Amino acid sequence: MKTLSFLCILLFLCSEVFGKLIQAPLGDDVEFLLSEECLKGRGRLNLRRNDASTQLIASLENVWKPGPQHSHRVNQSGLSLILENADLNDEGLYEFTCNDKDLESIKLEVFVPSEVAVSEGEDATLPCRSVTAGQSVKSARWRRNGNAVLQLDGTGGITYGEDVDRSRVSIPSEWDRQADLSLTIKRVQQQDEGVYYCDIDKAERHRSAVRLRVHPQVPTAAGSTPLPTTTPTECLKGRGRLNLRRNDASTQLVAFLENVWKPGPQHPHRVKQRELSLILENADLNDEGLYEFTCNGKDLEAIKLEVFVPSEVAVSEGEDATLPCRSVTAGQSVKSARWRRNGNAVLQLDGTGGITYGEDVDTSRVSIPSEWDRQADLSLTIKRVQQQDEGVYYCDIDKWERHRSAVRLRVHPQVPTAAGSTPLPTTTPTVKSSDRTWITVITVLVTAAVTSGIVGPLTFLLGRKRRRETRDEETGAQLNGRHTTNNDQSSDQHISTNGFTRSPDAPEEITLLPINNTTTTTTTTNNNNNNNNKE
């Protein structure tokens, strides 16, 4: 059922540019409360986007009428102006001018919420994970229906909203070390359903949304899998260090070499040497940054690590599946968009709207919306899903504000249907939680970074147990902040490195061989603690 996202959702001052903020889930109606100046006379409501372009949303001639691009989406209801069915291209600054008076601007942010489904009486964990190391977290808060649920101040003190049962809501006690501000609700009740917003005020601000659904069905649980970091051959003996350099330029000792690798003081149980590999277990968002090897007096090329949490789509064999990838396109100058799986291209859209498909891809089974630009929707639809389609898919949109996301597709055995049955519906992404385990799928991107600010080759030779088989065709990595161009290589619970694939259950190391282009390693794993959202 559709809900209204009210102006009172968030009433804090965000900056000098705008005064109030509305946060709304995709598809909900947004309500702008009209001031007295805007009830009669003449006026305008303009949307100002990030590229400074403006669009007329509605005009006032004693009554409000929709602008030419919103003829069926804007209407007046009493003392409110309603924008129906919000999409990502509606984001921006809404500026009211009524009877020659410029009023306070309102910023609208539209979210694609992740989803948590639990049975009544279970515990639910609503994910909110973001880098905290070196970020000077000033505050963090959870809200629902415009009301505070829980707020954390800079000293670690916690305050609760009115009428909130503090025995039922909590965040991790080690939220700063774990980069985890997920909200746990104990003994979930039907009235707990709704959209919850997480807002972390830090150097790189984080906002995300989670929709909580309460069902009778009990979901399943999942385990965790270690994540490998490869080790250069120069670092097998002698003396050395592996440092993590974060965005704020601070460094942390991850491991040191004295003929064998030993974990640093902050990673006593998470870093292990396994034959020709160094393993970083249970990656979390605070592990993001630049990993710098110095071995036997030699500084080696750095490796950039990015961690993010994909959504999940589950279908039965033979059904259609839609893998979500939604991001603002209006005013963003989209250059290209691509979907990849297992390091291979599935579909690529160029700046002119032309589509090319990967090798061995059945073009009759994969598609994106024809009106992707207007709908801000580059979701991938796979028709008649087969068991071999299972895995992690990556969406990368090259635009002014780069977007990258991941979706894990799970395919259940086919359920027999009656003859003449109608086509099965496209599924939507869900993430499930039980009273003991929160399913988290963390995807790690390891990208070759280079000293001197330009991209260079990844030349870490680990051993000769495997021969070189393939090389990705793409080059280039832009490592300014979180905006990178690299190759997304992943499969469901497999590690793919330059054409090589290893199951997490196998004890073998990953071998990286010298190549002349940028190399990307993508790893997926399941952890017991849960993004947004990439920021």
Looking up residue 105, the CATH number of its domain turns out to be 2.60.40.10
* pLDDT confidence of residue 3: 52
Task: Tell me the range of 137-141, 216-220, 274-278 where mean pLDDT is highest.
Answer: 137-141
Handedness of CA 243, 244, 249, 251 (dihedral sign): negative
3-state helix, strand, coil in the chain (%, to 5): 5, 45, 50
Stretch 433-445: mean pLDDT, rounded?
35
Domain termination residue (choose one: 160, 187, 215): 215
User: Does any domain span residue 358?
Assistant: yes
Q: Are residues 52 and 13 in the same domain?
A: yes
The confidence score (pLDDT) of residue 205 equals: 78
Confirm whether 290 is domain-assigned. no
Query: Any residues with CB less than 8 A from the CB of 87 and at least 6 apart, and which?
Result: 26, 27, 110, 375, 376, 377
CB atoms under 10 Å from CB of 507, counted, come to 9
Helix, strand or coil, per DSSP, at residue 308? strand
pLDDT-derived band of residue 484, with 50, 70 and 90 as boundaries? very low
CA 240 to CA 136: how far, in whole Å? Answer: 30
pLDDT band at 415; cut points 50, 70, 90:
low
pLDDT greater than 60 at residue 104 = yes
Whether residue 51 is found in the same domain as residue 134? no
Pair of tokens at residue 316 = 């039965």
Residue 190: what pLDDT?
86
163, part of any domain = yes
Structure tokens belonging to residue 323: 């893998």
**Does pLDDT of 166 surpass 60?**
yes
394, 434: one domain: yes
Based on the fold, state whether residues 99 and 135 are members of the same structural domain: no
Q: Is residue 251 part of a domain?
A: no
Residue 271 contacts residue 280 (beta carbons within 8 Å): yes
Stretch (H or E) spanning 263? strand 260-263
Out of 91-100, 283-292, 409-418, which region has the weakest mean confidence (pLDDT)?
A: 409-418
pLDDT exceeding 90 applies to what percent of the chain? 24
Q: How far apart are the first and last CA of the chain?
A: 28
Kindly state whether residues 73 and 159 are assigned to the same domain: no
Task: Identify residue 314 by its one-letter amino acid code.
Answer: A
User: How many domains is the chain built from?
Assistant: 3
Q: Is the pLDDT of residue 533 over 50?
A: no
Q: Could you tell me the two tokens for 7?
A: 């102006």
Best mean pLDDT range from 2-16, 331-345, 429-443, 507-521: 331-345
Q: How far apart are alpha carbons 424 and 416 in whole angstroms?
A: 12
- Residue 369 and residue 510 in one domain: yes
374 and 507 fall within a common domain: yes
Backbone angles phi, psi at 128, to 5 degrees: -150, 95
Residue that terminates a domain, selected from 111, 131, 151: 111
Q: Do 360 and 499 lie in a common domain?
A: yes
List the single range of 14-23, 167-176, 180-189, 243-252 with lowest mean pLDDT. 14-23
Q: What is the residue range of 42's domain?
A: 4-111
Task: Please give the structure tokens belonging to residue 385.
Answer: 């899903």
Flag whether 182 is in a domain. yes
| pLDDT band, residue 419 (cuts 50/70/90) | low
- Tokens 């393993």: give the residue: 279
Computed over every residue of the chain, the mean pLDDT equals 73
- Parallel, antiparallel, or unpaired for β 355-357 and 344-350? antiparallel
Q: Which of 198, 215, 232 is the last residue of a domain?
A: 215
Q: Please tell me the distance from the alpha carbon of residue 73 to that of residue 84, in angstroms, as a whole number.
A: 5
Instruction: Tell whether 423 and 327 lie within a shared domain.
Output: yes
Could you report the per-residue pLDDT of 110-122, keeping only the tens digit for each? Answer: 888 888 888 888 8
Which tens digit of pLDDT belongs to each residue from 331-386?
777 888 999 987 789 999 987 888 999 888 999 999 999 888 888 889 999 999 99
State the pLDDT at residue 487. 37
Please give the Cα distance from 210 to 193 (Å, whole number): 10
Q: Strand 206-215 and strand 114-119: pairing?
A: parallel
Residues 12 and 137 in one domain: no
Report the alpha-carbon distance of residue 315 to residue 265 in Å, rounded.
44
* Shared-domain flag, residues 16 and 154: no
Residue 516 lies in a domain: yes
CB 134 within 8 A of CB 247: yes
Non-local CB neighbours of 30 within 8 Å, separated by 6+ positions: 4, 5, 22, 24, 82, 83, 86, 90, 108
Judged against a pLDDT cut of 60, whether residue 445 lies above it is answered with no
301, part of any domain: no
- Higher per-residue pLDDT: 461 or 168: 168
The closest of 262, 317, 211 to 532, measured between CA atoms, is 211
Look at residue 53 and tell me if it is in a domain.
Answer: yes
Task: Supply the pTM of this predicted model.
Answer: 0.45
pLDDT, residue 347, reads 92
- Binned at pLDDT 50, 70 and 90, residue 19 comes out as low
Q: Is 497's pLDDT higher than 90?
A: no
- Containing 177, the helix (H) or strand (E) segment is helix 175-178
Q: Are residues 364 and 490 in the same domain?
A: yes
What DSSP designation does 175 have? H
Residue pair 116/432 in contact by the 8 Å Cβ criterion: yes
- Tokens read off for 487: 């190759």
